[in-house]
Amino acid sequence: MNRHLKVAFMVAPILLVLGWGGADFYEESKANETRFIQLEQEGQCDIINKNCVLKSGEFKVNVFDKDGVTVVNSTFPLDTATLFLVDENDKMTTYQLGMQLTPYYWSRETPLRQLVSNKGEGHKLRLLAQIKGGQYISEFYTQTAK
Partner 1 sequence: MENKETYWSENLRIIFICLAIWFVVSFGFGLLLVEPLNAIRLGGYKLGFWFAQQGSIYAFLALVFWYSAKMNTLDKKYDVGS
95: three-class secondary structure by DSSP = strand
Candidates 17, 23, 31, 145; binder of partner 1 (CB under 8 A) is 23
Please count the residues of the chain.
146
Q: Is 141 in the site for partner 1 (CB under 8 A)?
A: no
d(CA 100, CA 78): 11
Q: 133 — alpha (psi -120 to 50), left (phi > 0) or beta? A: left
By CB under 8 A, the residues from 66 to 105 that bind partner 1 are: none
Which one, 33 or 88, has the nearer CB to partner 1? 33
Give CA–CA dist 139/126, Å, rounded.
Answer: 4
**Residue 21 binds partner 1, judged by CB under 8 A:** no
Residue 31 interacting with partner 1 (CB under 8 A): no
- Write phi, then psi, for 30 (nearest 5 degrees): -70, -40
Among 21, 22, 98, 122, binds partner 1 (CB under 8 A): 22
Q: Which stretch binds partner 1 (CB under 8 A): 8-16, 34-42, 68-76, 78-86?
A: 8-16
Tell me if 32 contacts partner 1 by CB under 8 A: no
Q: What is the CA radius of gyration of the chain?
A: 23
Judged by the rule CB under 8 A, the positions of this chain that interact with partner 1 are 2-5, 8-9, 12, 15-16, 19, 22-23, 26-27
